[in-house]
Structures are given as structure tokens and as C-alpha cells.
Amino acid sequence: MSTQRVDKAWQQKGLKEYSTEALLGTLGHYGLPINEEDFRKLSEGTYPLGIAQQWKPKWKGTGPFKDFVVAVAVELWRRWLPDRVAPYELTDTLAGLMNALLRLLNGITDAPVAAAFERMGTLRPRIPVDDKGSPQERFMQEALAPFTEKDAEVFDSLAETLARSGHPDHAEAFADIEEFFIPDRKGISKSMVRAARGEKDPAIDDLVKLTSDTSRSPISRILAMDGLIHLQAHGQAAAAGRQLLEWAESAKDLHLALDLVPRLEHVYKAQNDQLALLDLVRTAERLEAEHDRIHPGHRRHRHAHQH
């Protein structure tokens, strides 16, 4: 029986035109005899990149076949699980949307923004969620893995930039997507858009409420404080930071407390509040002594002493 296999040209052509038998023949030839049932089992707990990672140790392909495992995991998912959205679909859709919005901001008036938002709107309800209705963490990790640090900066500033540049509806819509994908930013991205549209005071009020909302995760409350700092609402940021610091200390969350120190330092310097700075140095020393007592040998990078 002649087993079909994929030839070296797959890297140029992609895998779409090869038969499933050829894909499996190639996997078997290089040390991974698998079938549809094996693949479906793997897919219960992970996604294509995760599957490829589990295959890698047994993979004997080199040269043009070195990266075949990743491509074939993606292709088999497309063929065998067409009803289940894969992380790379979100990668492509989000990249397409950001690209269209950047082109619009660069003055290209016929940038395909509406189509890109529509594509995201169709994909969004299909994304697997956890019991809180937030996108599944493993799915998101894999979807966002291909993005660079620079992409992340664009993602973080896009809603606000759109609002500032006179595209309030796109700004709202993008902030909504951002808050869905990063639940810790719920309410925060939209407040930044409000402020950028000229409603700075109500936005600041909203952020203050978010910093003191104990039902939110500590990281989320810190992000709201970062929002206040970004809007240069230093008085409110200082009050929120002190309240959070007190809460972190009473909850014995030293890492959270230590994360707040450089933020408060920034605010007090902006306010030129020497007394508060002095007090903060003492607090930081106390926190770090406590941290070193609990985690001996686990030195943190020290923020508080760079004057």
C-alpha cells in the first residue's frame, strides 16, 4: 500500500491542497502515528499550538519538515473541528481590525473598518468562555502569542487615540472589544474613551469608583489607578493608591502593596508632596523587610529608592 505524504513544497503552497491521508502519512513517517480520535482527545484540553507542543518531543522532521507539526495541527483542526473556533482565527481577525483602524488614523478614508468590525462581531460569540463569561485563558494566550510588544502598545492605546482623533463610535466599539478580551480592564478602557472625548470629570469619577470596588481583582483596581495617573488626576490617584495600599497590607498581599509603591511615588513627585514621599520611603522599607522575612532570598527589584 502506498502511503501518501506531503512533499517539500508544502512551505510555499500551504497544506490546504494535500489530502488528510497525506498529512497523517507525513506525521507517521516522522514519528507521530496519530488518527482523528487521538487528535480530538488532545483538542479537549488545548488548541493547535498546544497540541503541536505536545507533539514536538517525538517529532523527527528536520529541514523543510521542522515546523510541519505546527502547520499540520492548525490544518487538522480546520478539517476535523470546523465548528470550533481556533485561536489563530482571533489572531487574524484582531490583527485585521487593528490594521484597518491604524490605516483610518493615517488618513486612509476607505480603510475596511466596517468589514473588520463585522468580522470580529461574528467571531466574538463563538469564542470559548469560562464560568464568568470571560474568554478562556488558554485560548487567549495562544491567540495573543504572535503579537509583539509593539502590537500590544497599539492595542492598549487604540481606543483612546480613536476618540481623540474624532472617531468616537469606533473608539467605543474597540474599547468594548478590549474589555471583553481583558476583563481586568472592564470599565477602564471606556472611561479612557470618555475622557478623550472631553468628558474628563465623569471619567475620573468612574475610575475612582473602580479603584474602590472590592468585588474587582486587585490588578483591575491598580489598572483603574493607572487610568487616573494617565489622566493626571493626581489627587484622586493618591487617595485611591493610599486606600489600596491599606487594603493590600490588611489582606497581607505584599506583592500588591509593593506594586503600588512606584505608582504612589510617581504621584507624590507630580504633586511635589515631600512629606508624603518621605512617609512612602518608610512604608516601602517596612514592606520590603516584611517581604524578605517571608521570602528569604527572593529579592525584588527595588523601585522606591531611586531618588
Angle between helices 188-196 and 200-211 (to 10 degrees): 160
Is 260 in contact with 245 (CB distance < 8 Å)? yes
Lowest mean pLDDT of 45-54, 232-241, 262-271, 285-294, name the range: 285-294
Of the candidates 275, 201, 202, 203, the one whose C-alpha atom is nearest the C-alpha of residue 238 is 275
pLDDT-derived band at 216 (thresholds 50, 70, 90) equals very high
Q: What is the pLDDT of residues 160-183, one digit of tens each?
A: 999 999 999 999 999 999 999 999
Using H for helix, E for strand and C for coil, what is the string for 179-217? HHHCHHHCCHHHHHHHHHCCCHHHHHHHHHHHHCCCCCC
Contact criterion met (CB below 8 Å) for 135 and 180: yes
The secondary structure of residue 52, as a DSSP letter, is: H
Give residue 32's pLDDT band: very low, low, confident or very high (50, 70, 90): very high
Average pLDDT, stretch 120-127?
96
**44 has pLDDT over 70:** yes
Calculate helix-pair angle for 113-123, 87-105, nearest 10 degrees. 160
Separation CA 92–CA 87 (nearest Å): 9
Give per-residue pLDDT as tens, 45-102. Answer: 899 999 999 999 999 999 999 999 999 999 999 999 999 999 999 999 999 999 999 9
Sorted by sequence, the CB contacts under 8 Å of residue 96 that are 6+ apart come out as 116, 119
Q: How confident is the model at residue 299 (pLDDT cuts 50, 70, 90)?
A: low
Type of residue numbered 53: Q
Q: What phi and psi, each to the nearest 5 degrees, are found at residue 135? A: -55, 140
